Amino acid sequence: MKKSVFLIIPLLTASCSKQSSEAQQMEDSLTSVVNTEVKRKDSVSKPIAEDSLQTEHVKNAGEAVKILNAEKLPCTIDQKFDAKIQKLVIRIPNYSKPSIHGSISTQNNNMNVRFNQIKLSDGTYDGPFGKEISYQIKNKGEIWLIVGKNLMAEGAVEGDFSVTVE
């Protein structure tokens, strides 16, 4: 009996230490996932720089994100739609004016691009619009102007264009 106890104790100790190392590896991988998520959130919620424009690229979604400083409006953004980028999101944090105006000018008159939607500070969306937008803003906060192709029209979906926001 004593011999069997002496054999079982080392086995139990070895199995417990193996489980703790597996738990440590799992905890380390979870920590790295959490840190990645925090970094991703931090990069999205960057403070607005002194410049009127910041650029973020969201590669997986096929969109370009531009952040405008509301105090530096009016501003013109030059953008190019290609095979990878087919959507432009213009984020304007802390927008406090009673209305917003925007227009899209294209180098190719046959280019299929428009203001698809506006996201208001309360999280609601409105749209679609055309190549110009004039919208009354009821609440202060972050406004998004979403520019993309018009699915109901024909025309080139790739090319250079400019968006002016006032």
Closest CA to 114 of 102, 104, 123: 104
Decide which of 76 and 35 is more confident.
Answer: 76
The pTM for the full model equals: 0.64
Give the C-alpha separation, 29 to 42, whole Å: 20
Q: What is the DSSP letter of 54?
A: E
Instruction: Quick: pLDDT tens for 1-25.
Output: 556 656 666 655 665 555 544 445 4
| Average pLDDT of every residue of the chain | 76
Closest CA to 108 of 164, 162, 156, 165: 156
Is residue 159 within 8 Å of 107, Cβ to Cβ? Answer: yes
Is residue 69 within 8 Å of 51, Cβ to Cβ? Answer: yes
Structure tokens at 104: 């899209």
Give the C-alpha separation, 15 to 164, whole Å: 66
The average pLDDT across 56-69 equals 74
Cα angle: 123, vertex 128, 134; to 5 degrees: 80
